[in-house]
Amino acid sequence: MLVLAIETSCDETAAAVVADGRRILSSVVSSQVAIHAEYGGVVPEIASRKHLEMISPVISQALAEAGVSFGDVQGVAVTRGPGLSGALLVGLSAAKAIACARGIPFVGVHHIEGHLFAPFLERPVEFPFLALVVSGGHTHLYLVEGFGRYRTLGRTLDDAAGEAFDKSAKIMGLPYPGGARIDAMAQEGNPGAVRLPRPLLADGGLNFSFSGLKTAMLNRITKHPVTIPGSEANDLCASFQQAVCDVLVAKTAVALERTGVTRLVVAGGVACNSGLRRSMQALASGLSIDLRIPAPSLCGDNAAMLAVPGNHYLEQGHVSELSMDVTATWDMDRVGEGWS
Ligand code: KG4
Ligand code: ZN
């Protein structure tokens, strides 16, 4: 089956054509990052307007790069939520219009479902598996028992990991979004140089908290300003990154032990982080866990990842109605509700 996938939940307008939920024929991502950087974060109204401008050209490009036309597409998968309502509405309306005009089915997919099935575009993962999703809006541990069968084991109580990276970068005077920049600077720094807290590290639970770490960064910068570029700034980035990774790894280890599962997926934009990739690989090899972290191009927001669950649902006949609305908040544990 040839599925056209559409993603507009935040600041990337993306479309992809994927065959059988496995083979990417095209994946186009148009980022608005440069526009929002001026404001230090995503401005919802601007995001919606930009999606409106870009949605048709991005879909056309995805079809052209795949060498197919609308007539070849057999189904549409689109992010229904969570995300910015106005932004989501653009993608959902486009999906409905295409489905309606071509007489093909469409399905609304949870954005995080896309992230955790991204590695399937490289090679399928057997169920059940544990998934750590770390992005700008999420830091969640899920037990994934099948498509639509997710159990949240832990989550952030305040900031998401990506948010912690971006806010700390901002505190340091780096442009939004600063996660990748901290990663690059950290590679030149000493992770043991600055003592920073590891919130909830040893509480025995599976929830996360990153706001205290952000405050610690603010206090440190106020007392010890750093120049960029410079070795002190690199040391601070390396120390911050190490603190985040230590917490993510420790909680994941507890979740693996508690569930007894032997397969682990790490996904979402923060899974691009070189320190986290290294730390997770070390954890996995120590515990003989089958670890899957998708290539960086599949970690950040893209549409191809949505085609994995989308293709499955369409094949199973889980088709969405034209009356379906976006949902700004959507609990993963309830995704499969009402299905047989
Ligand atoms: O998954 P994603 O593209 O969008 C959301 O759904 O949020 O994740 C974006 C987040 C941003 O916070 C960004 O700073 C972070 O991922 N990020 C990184 C790196 N690359 C992207 N954080 C740390 N290190 C990186 N290399
Ligand atoms: Zn995302």
Ligand nearest to the CA of 7: 2
Mutate to test the pocket of ligand 1, among 12, 165, 299 (most ligand atoms within 8 A of CB): 165
Ligand nearest to the CA of 32: 1
How far apart CA 84 and CA 112 sit, in angstroms, is: 14
Q: Which of 232, 21, 242, 177 is nearest to 113 (CA)?
A: 21
Q: Which of 248, 135, 241, 148 is nearest to 187 (CA)?
A: 241
Whether 113 lines ligand 1, by a CB cut-off of 6 Å, is: no
Whether 301 lines ligand 1, by a CB cut-off of 6 Å, is: yes
Nearest CA to ligand 1 atom 19: 180
Distance 122 CA to ligand 2 centre (A): 18
- Residue 143, classed as helix, strand or coil, is strand
332 Cβ partners below 8 Å, 6+ apart? 110, 112, 113, 140, 142, 150, 152
Distance 130 CA to ligand 1 centre (A): 20
How far apart CA 207 and CA 200 sit, in angstroms, is: 8
Whether 83 lines ligand 1, by a CB cut-off of 6 Å, is: no
Whether 179 lines ligand 1, by a CB cut-off of 6 Å, is: yes
Alpha-carbon distances, residue 75 vs 79, 141, 164, 209 (angstroms): 14, 30, 37, 39
Distance 7 CA to ligand 1 centre (A): 16
Neighbours of 169 (CB within 10 A): 22
pLDDT tens digits in sequence order for the chain, 340 residues long: 999 999 999 999 999 999 999 999 999 999 999 999 999 889 999 999 999 999 999 999 999 999 999 999 999 999 999 999 999 999 999 999 999 999 999 999 999 999 999 999 999 999 999 999 999 999 999 999 999 999 999 999 999 999 999 999 999 999 989 999 999 999 999 999 999 999 999 899 999 999 999 999 999 999 999 999 999 999 999 999 999 999 999 999 999 999 999 999 999 999 999 999 999 999 999 999 999 999 999 999 999 999 999 999 999 999 999 999 999 999 999 998 866 5
274 Cβ partners below 8 Å, 6+ apart? 183, 186, 187
Whether 294 lines ligand 1, by a CB cut-off of 6 Å, is: no
Distance 248 CA to ligand 2 centre (A): 18
